[in-house]
Amino acid sequence: MNQTSVEAPPQVELALLLKAYRLMLTAKTMAETYEDNKAICSKYVHSTSRGHEAIQLATAFHLTPKDYLSVYYRDESILLGLGLTPYELMLQLMAKRDDPFSGGRTYYGHPSLRREGFPVIPHQSSATGMQAIPATGMAHALSFLESQHLLEASEGRVALCSLGDGSVTEGEVAEAFQMAVLKKLPIIYLVQDNDWGISAKGSEMRAMDAYEYAAGFKGLERMRVDGADLVDSYTGMAEAFRIARNERRPVLVHAKCPLLGHHTSGVRREWYRGNDLNEHMLLDPLPRLGTYLLELGQTADELIAISQEVKEEVQAHYERALAAPNPDPESFHLHEFAPTPVVEEKGNRAPEKAEKVTMVDAALHAVDDILKQYPEALFYGQDVGGELGGVFREAALLAKKYGDARVFNTPIQEAYIVGSTAGMSAVGCKPIVEIQFADYIWPGINQLVEELSKSCYLSMGKFPVQALIRVPIGAYGGGGPYHSGSIESTLLNIRGIKVVYPSNAADMKGLMKAAFLDPNPVVMLEHKGLYWSKVAGTEDAKTPEPDEDYILPLGIANVVQSASEEQIQAGNSLAVITYGMGVYWAKAASKELPGSVEIVDLRTLNPLDFATVEAAVKRHGKVLVLTEEPLMNSFTESLAGRIGKTCFQVLDAPVFTLGAENLPAVPLNVELEKMMLPNADKVLKSLQELLEY
């Protein structure tokens, strides 16, 4: 800090400097309290802001209630600067019932807040780079809503994303930076650099710091500030906010800070810091600010009095938090999903004189209806915008009809496509996104798991993520190993998301609209082989087009073919439980067994309509569970096991399963593909064996 004489006016108002000094003392006293009470406060791993207080408070003082904030796990002083109390933070530290962020479900320094007078702070994961994409999604949503005149750009809303410097090496951070500069988004990336990861120094982890790295992103304004100096941090952040608010473009602020506390309470600084800790202590922002206040005319007695007041306040907050009640154990299951408004089938599924449509056109028309009705809706992904409108023409002409701000192409960034929906949803947008092929979803799985699936549960229902993620799936006709995969079992192991798999045009349209209106993340699997009904035996995938008001709730299976009462009474019937292409393999095979086969199309894999499955099994006593996926460790085997346990007393045979061979990929050659996948002949063989059992 430059020396300032007593006569010179301060660069920051004295009242704000004193507020910062009090809050720095608060953060320091809290950290000391936690250390003095390790047996209690280190029961759950936590991290404090010691050393980072100056840049964090400077940032907090510039945020307004109209802004959006993404913090990382060390940002306790940002929260104090916004007006959260030590008591509230301690409730989270001790996992208490009244923790305002998560009700005792997640770690200290992991806020999720919707409160009048505060910036919106959506839930996020443990914030080692993953938060950059949802935060950029928030800025993207602000920009989009402004482009549609649903928000006023003149109001200057911004998103702020806080990161540790070590996290900037994450590939997902590069995706976020790329979209921020590509779309000129109003976001500030605050990178706090203390030169440490956990036990690895910056020189071990990176060839450059975040400021140098950011030079590669054309259009990203870059700044350096002294993160241990309150005045330099405050004036630097003032300029960053001016650029983001007024010029509506992205900024990166690199703030160098000391690390005075432990990385976390679980990794003790004395294990690895050595003399480095003494060097960092010389940069402690608290005595630096104290010295500056003395230069401005404050007395030592005044500063000592503030310190004593803070110690008493923090101790009182600690004792109150310690006595606060724990969560009710019986509440552990609440908020897996937010309630959906779609609970019954509505509209006309088969209007008189309606023409038959393919599944791909039913999906296109559903999205068209949605965009027409909901101005906050948008659709993006690889190649869905512009002239092409998707590699399957599933978005044909939508970009021309609704404009490039609402229907647009993204870079090849599956993580951004998926993860940005969390930020979009938090701001109030209703995103529909597409992963071009199921085999391409893997880079987006991290975001799907960490940022989307957990948000509703860990925020106690404050931040469900409304996201419709479309995924073309399945094999036919030589698509090969990177365009033919089935991924439903992987998705179904992710709790907190819904998975839909329609098999015909009417279901596609009705389920698409229900999925869009669902306030939770919904992955819609759309079989490419059914899109146009070009595969032999899939003609029934074309149906009369439902009307514009048709909507079909998730979680309701459909009996698409019934067995005859005569065959049921003769004990010569069975049920096939399936979905997607399996419906048509079962239909083709059952032609050789007239009246003997009931086919249940699940339509939604999570939530699962097990009641319909159970009723079918009880009617027949024999069941085949059919899938296109390889069987080993699959959803199909899991469902078969559940049927075997629940329906054991009514079964007349073991639960049969049939799926693809247990191979790592679908081969390119069509004859090899046929050998790997189920087909009508293989299904018929299983049905005959089961009937004869």
Last residue of a domain, one of 544, 571, 594: 544
Which residues 6+ apart lie within 8 Å of 119 measured at CB?
63, 64, 65, 66, 67, 68, 69, 82, 160
- Asked if residue 191 is part of any domain, the answer here is yes
Active-site option among 365, 483, 527, 620: 483
**153 and 264 part of one domain:** yes
- pLDDT at residue 274 in the model: 74
Strands 407-409 and 377-381: parallel
| pLDDT band, residue 391 (cuts 50/70/90) | low
**525 and 563 part of one domain:** no
**108 and 231 part of one domain:** yes
Residue 432 φ then ψ, to 5°: -115, 125
Beta bridge partners of 188: 160, 251
In angstroms, the CA 418 to CA 443 distance is 9
- Asked if residue 315 is part of any domain, the answer here is yes
| pLDDT band, residue 4 (cuts 50/70/90) | very low
Residue 422 φ then ψ, to 5°: -65, -45
Q: How many domains does the chain have?
A: 3
Region of residue 194 (left: phi > 0; alpha: psi -120 to 50; beta: else):
alpha
Q: At 343, list the tokens.
A: 């609970």
**190 and 259 part of one domain:** yes
In angstroms, the CA 151 to CA 428 distance is 11
Which residues 6+ apart lie within 8 Å of 614 measured at CB?
643, 646, 647
**174 and 51 part of one domain:** yes
- Asked if residue 336 is part of any domain, the answer here is no
What single-letter amino acid sits at 445?
I
- pLDDT at residue 71 in the model: 95
- Asked if residue 348 is part of any domain, the answer here is no
Domain harbouring 533, CATH code: 3.40.50.970
Q: Clarify whether 483 is annotated catalytic.
A: yes
**115 and 239 part of one domain:** yes
Q: What is the DSSP string of 10-69?
A: PSS-HHHHHHHHHHHHHHHHHHHHHHHTHHHHTSS-----TT-HHHHHHHHHH--TTSEE
**Domain containing 607: what range?**
558-692
Give 534-558 pLDDT, tens digit per residue: 899 999 999 999 999 999 999 999 9
In angstroms, the CA 659 to CA 628 distance is 5
**565 and 537 part of one domain:** no
- Asked if residue 329 is part of any domain, the answer here is no
- Asked if residue 4 is part of any domain, the answer here is no
Residue 484 φ then ψ, to 5°: -135, 0
- Asked if residue 330 is part of any domain, the answer here is no
Domain harbouring 643, CATH code: 3.40.50.920
In angstroms, the CA 127 to CA 166 distance is 11
**59 and 157 part of one domain:** yes
**161 and 90 part of one domain:** yes
**pLDDT over threshold 80, residue 8:** no
Lowest mean pLDDT among 222-236, 375-389, 499-513, 542-556: 375-389
**73 and 210 part of one domain:** yes
Last residue of a domain, one of 284, 309, 324: 324
Last residue of a domain, one of 515, 544, 573: 544
Peptide bond before residue 607 is cis, with ω within 30 degrees of 0: yes
Asked if residue 580 lies in contact with residue 540, where contact means CB atoms within 8 angstroms, the answer is no
Region of residue 264 (left: phi > 0; alpha: psi -120 to 50; beta: else):
beta
**pLDDT over threshold 90, residue 269:** no
**pLDDT over threshold 50, residue 56:** yes
**376 and 494 part of one domain:** yes
**pLDDT over threshold 80, residue 81:** yes
Work out the mean pLDDT of the chain and round it to a whole number.
94
**624 and 585 part of one domain:** yes
- Asked if residue 343 is part of any domain, the answer here is no
| pLDDT band, residue 389 (cuts 50/70/90) | low
